[in-house]
Chains A and B, each alone.
Chain A
Amino acid sequence: MPLPLALILVLAALLSVAWDLAVPAFQGPDEDAHFGYVQHLAETGRPPSPSSGNSSYSTQEATLLKDLNLLSLRGDLGGRPAWSAADLALWHQAEHQLPPGSSSNGDGPNATGQNPPLYYALMAIPYRVFAWLPLLKLLFVLRLFDALCFLATVSLTWLIAGEVFGRVRWKQTLAAGAVALLPQLAFMSVVINSDGLLTALTTAVLWMALRMAIRGPTLGRVLAASGFTAAAVLTHGRGLVTVPVLGIAILVAWIHHRPALRDVAVQAGGAAATVGVAFVAYLLFAASGGSGGLYGGEVTTINTSRGFNLGQFLSSVYQFYFPKLPSLTPRIGPDYGYRQVFINTFYATFGQLEVTFRQGVYDILQVASALGLVAFYTACVARWRALRRSWPAVAVMLALLLTLLVALHYISYRELLANGGVDPVIVGRYLLPMVSLFGLAIAFTVGSLPRRVGPFVGAAVLSAGLLLALGGVGITAARFYA
């Protein structure tokens, strides 16, 4: 393993351990519900129901949430966990008195029950191995397993940078380092939540799709890319965005490398079969678990809810990024847009959205991001010929960027229609599946600068990332434990 990558993985692992300590049990986004799914699946072999059942949490989880004030703590800055040794002793007493079956009765309703089972099935393995541990210890250990997805994402970003830039170590280090130091990603790395696996798998799809597009579509590469896509589809509804990316990548690879027709047929069949088998397997699993069809019926619900208006949708997307034009009707929903999603909750918003830096930090991040975008655009224009020569790779990366953005805007618009404009649903962590593009964009932009300048700007970007990364751990630990 190259030394820079090894060091970045050490850095990432240290950050994950720090985050695991800084965030008390169940204080990540929806962590209580995701853990409930893992626990119910591991204990009973069945997912919890998204809409029915006797209890959202198992008695064991509910008791822990109550006894250590972990439920009342969620999102409430005035709250603190019950953190003393006396509180812990009280919990031990309660845990020992729990009746048999207390860890297996969280049958629902659990909102995460609509998710496909791959993440939860994988987490059920360490759960079963360490099931003898008391719950708080078990959760800490499970989070460390979760962090493996973070390390995979960082490693895959390194590999992608290698595909795109060649064996240029400082650019690979810059891309992978920027991803490892993104506070939101490091924070999410220890939260029991399928987002971490989805991010790693989407990054893996991009890596293999780029290999196909750049090196040619061998059956092995097509099957690998399809396998990662199938896994993403089986991890979360948002994993569906990888399907068009896979399709575009295969198409681009065929156009660019012109394989024999027989090879095309075999590869197409292999890809369709791999993804198709995943869908069929999920359909059978959903039918047996009674979770209401694929993704709990959410995809169908989103697409059939009334009131969709293309003009309103496009206007809504425009107003998400830019101030409203006089001719436009106001965007439905709260005052929520680019700043909240691409800056605040993409870079650094922790806990249940209540732990944030001072607003000035986000102002600086917004200005830096805008300058970065201008620099990125300038680099694209300046290196237009090189980009045209690399069109297969560019097409694949654009496919992921646009598919994810369009999907998120569409989901947000549909949800706003459905919930009366109350909740736009999307937050910055939903952008994390394309976090490798964030690292690549930084490396491309900085790498386009003259050699006397570029490496120094890269050093400055990584230094700023480090300050944010460690600062995020600090403010979170202070919020929960001070």
Chain B
Amino acid sequence: MPRPRSWRPDLATSCLVLMVLLIVIGGLIFWRPFLTRSSQQVTEVPAPPALFVLAEFPVAPNQQACENSVTVTSDTRFATFQLRPAKPSREGGPPVGFVLSGQGYRATAVVPGGYPGGSVTLRITPPRHTLIGTACFVNLGTKPVLLDGTTEGRTIARPALEIAGRPVTGDVALSFQGLRSESLPEELGVLFDHASNLTDGLVPVWLIWLIAPLVAFGVPIALILAYYSAMLEDFGDAR
């Protein structure tokens, strides 16, 4: 009576199992921090900060700096920019009003005086629908204030800047954020929406929802099968 042989995987199957394990375990170690880390959702960046050389735009008392063509999305809750007193003093910087306006929309917020300078984030009321409007920084104090931005040709964005009604080359750096701090998987819908818009709708959002899992699972499966089939061809059922 033949003795029952214990099953031992062949070389190809062993490699297949190893790859699956390495990809799953490696993925958990390598990607997990990236996938689970939460970060404040950016809803729009009308004008990015300078890349190399910071530009400071002075705004005199009772004057304002305005940027047009600023997109404010309906999920925007905060606005962030940088400012500092023109001359460092114990009293700090003057109060600055921040006004967002567009067709049928106006939102205001104030940076109270007395700050030493740096980044400020103001809570704002969003429009009902995403719109393209104007952002104004109004010096409400009695001393000049400096708004940080850029005059670098490569970082000047779409908005046009006016200070005290006069056109100025450059942009005051401004960004908008959403309400929640979200991890990447939570933000996928928004991310795909942005990606689709940047293809001008050639790749609609629903198609990206199909492509993403196809890539995430199809690429590993194709790789594992390629190696497995190659091993089978070379080694057959060798152990």
Residues of chain A within 8 A (CB-CB) of B39 are: 482
Query: Which candidate, A274-282, A292-300, A332-340, A469-477, is the interface stretch facing chain B?
Result: A469-477
B226 touches A3 (CB 8 A): yes
Residues of chain A within 8 A (CB-CB) of B18 are: 456, 459-460, 463
Contact with B along A68-92 (1 / 0, CB 8 A): 1101111110111111111110100
Query: Which candidate, A46-54, A168-176, A247-255, is the interface stretch facing chain B?
Result: A168-176
A177 touches B223 (CB 8 A): yes
Q: Which of B123-180 contact A (CB under 8 A)?
A: 130-132, 150, 154-158, 171, 173, 175
A4 touches B227 (CB 8 A): yes
Docked Cα-Cα span, A80 to B19, in Å, equals 37
A473 touches B26 (CB 8 A): no
Q: Does B208 contact A (CB under 8 A)?
A: yes
Count contacts on B: residues with CB < 8 A to the other chain.
71
Min CB gap B153→A, angstroms: 8
Residues of chain A within 8 A (CB-CB) of B223 are: 7-8, 11, 177, 181, 462, 466
Contact with A along B50-64 (1 / 0, CB 8 A): 010000000000000
Docked Cα-Cα span, A460 to B214, in Å, equals 22
Min CB gap A372→B, angstroms: 17
Min CB gap B115→A, angstroms: 21
Q: Which of B80-97 contact A (CB under 8 A)?
A: none
Residues of chain B within 8 A (CB-CB) of A374 are: none
Q: Does B47 contact A (CB under 8 A)?
A: yes
Min CB gap A396→B, angstroms: 25
Q: Which residue of B lies closest to A464 (CB)?
A: B26
A10 touches B158 (CB 8 A): no
Min CB gap A2→B, angstroms: 8
B227 touches A88 (CB 8 A): no
Docked Cα-Cα span, A127 to B46, in Å, equals 31
Contact with B202, one of A2, A15, A137 (Cβ below 8 angstroms)? A137
A467 touches B26 (CB 8 A): yes
Q: Which of B1-49 contact A (CB under 8 A)?
A: 11, 14-15, 18-19, 22-23, 26-27, 30-31, 34, 39, 41-42, 44-49
Q: Which residue of B lies closest to A176 (CB)?
A: B226
Residue among B11, B45, B46, B156 having the largest count of chain A Cβ atoms under 10 Å: B45
Q: Does A14 contact B (CB under 8 A)?
A: yes
Min CB gap B164→A, angstroms: 24
A76 touches B130 (CB 8 A): no
B49 touches A78 (CB 8 A): yes
Contact with B along A1-31 (1 / 0, CB 8 A): 0111101101100110110011011000000
Q: Does B120 contact A (CB under 8 A)?
A: no
Docked Cα-Cα span, A76 to B22, in Å, equals 35
Docked Cα-Cα span, A8 to B226, in Å, equals 6
Q: Which residue of A lies closest to B42 (CB)?
A: A80
A86 touches B132 (CB 8 A): yes
Docked Cα-Cα span, A466 to B31, in Å, equals 12
Docked Cα-Cα span, A14 to B215, in Å, equals 6
Decide: A72 near B156, CB < 8 A? Known: A11-B222, A170-B227, A482-B39. yes
Decide: A463 near B226, CB < 8 A? Known: A470-B219, A475-B34, A481-B191. no
Residues of chain A within 8 A (CB-CB) of B15 are: 455-456, 458-459
A79 touches B26 (CB 8 A): no
A4 touches B226 (CB 8 A): yes
Q: Does A382 contact B (CB under 8 A)?
A: no
Q: Does A128 contact B (CB under 8 A)?
A: no
What number of A-B contacts does a CB cutoff of 8 Å give? 225
Q: Which residue of A lies closest to B49 (CB)?
A: A78
Q: Does A381 contact B (CB under 8 A)?
A: no
Q: Which residue of B lies closest to A354 (CB)?
A: B51
Residues of chain A within 8 A (CB-CB) of B215 are: 14-15, 17-18, 470, 473
Q: Does B197 contact A (CB under 8 A)?
A: yes
Q: Does B184 contact A (CB under 8 A)?
A: yes
Residues of chain A within 8 A (CB-CB) of B171 are: 72
A72 touches B155 (CB 8 A): yes
B199 touches A140 (CB 8 A): yes
B197 touches A83 (CB 8 A): yes
Q: Does B118 contact A (CB under 8 A)?
A: no
Contact with B11, one of A88, A172, A455 (Cβ below 8 angstroms)? A455
Min CB gap A195→B, angstroms: 22
Residues of chain B within 8 A (CB-CB) of A80 are: 42, 44-45, 48, 175
Contact with A along B215-237 (1 / 0, CB 8 A): 11011101101110111011100
Min CB gap A465→B, angstroms: 8
Docked Cα-Cα span, A482 to B187, in Å, equals 7
Residues of chain A within 8 A (CB-CB) of B22 are: 459-460, 463-464
Docked Cα-Cα span, A149 to B87, in Å, equals 57
Docked Cα-Cα span, A4 to B44, in Å, equals 44
Contact with A482, one of B42, B158, B214, B227 (Cβ below 8 angstroms)? B42
B197 touches A73 (CB 8 A): no
Docked Cα-Cα span, A82 to B197, in Å, equals 9
Docked Cα-Cα span, A72 to B159, in Å, equals 11
B48 touches A467 (CB 8 A): no
Contact with A21, one of B47, B73, B199, B230 (Cβ below 8 angstroms)? B199
Q: Does B203 contact A (CB under 8 A)?
A: yes
Residues of chain A within 8 A (CB-CB) of B175 are: 78, 80
Q: Does B107 contact A (CB under 8 A)?
A: no
Min CB gap A287→B, angstroms: 33
Q: Which residue of B lies closest to A64 (CB)?
A: B200
Q: Does A134 contact B (CB under 8 A)?
A: yes
A90 touches B156 (CB 8 A): no
Contact with B19, one of A88, A170, A459 (Cβ below 8 angstroms)? A459
Q: Which residue of A lies closest to B25 (CB)?
A: A463
Residues of chain A within 8 A (CB-CB) of B44 are: 80, 82-84
Docked Cα-Cα span, A15 to B132, in Å, equals 35
Q: Which of B185-222 contact A (CB under 8 A)?
A: 187, 190-195, 197-203, 208, 211, 214-216, 218-220, 222
Decide: A466 near B219, CB < 8 A? Known: A72-B47, A83-B198. yes
Q: Which residue of A lies closest to B24 (CB)?
A: A463
Closest CB pairs A-B (n = 4): A79-B48, A136-B200, A7-B226, A169-B230
Interface residues of A (CB under 8 A from B): 2-5, 7-8, 10-11, 14-15, 17-18, 21-22, 24-25, 66-69, 71-76, 78-88, 90, 133-137, 140-141, 168-170, 172-174, 177, 181, 451, 455-456, 458-460, 462-464, 466-467, 469-471, 473-475, 477-478, 480-482
| 7 A-B pairs (CB sep. < 8 Å) | A4-B226, A7-B225, A69-B48, A84-B194, A86-B73, A169-B234, A478-B184
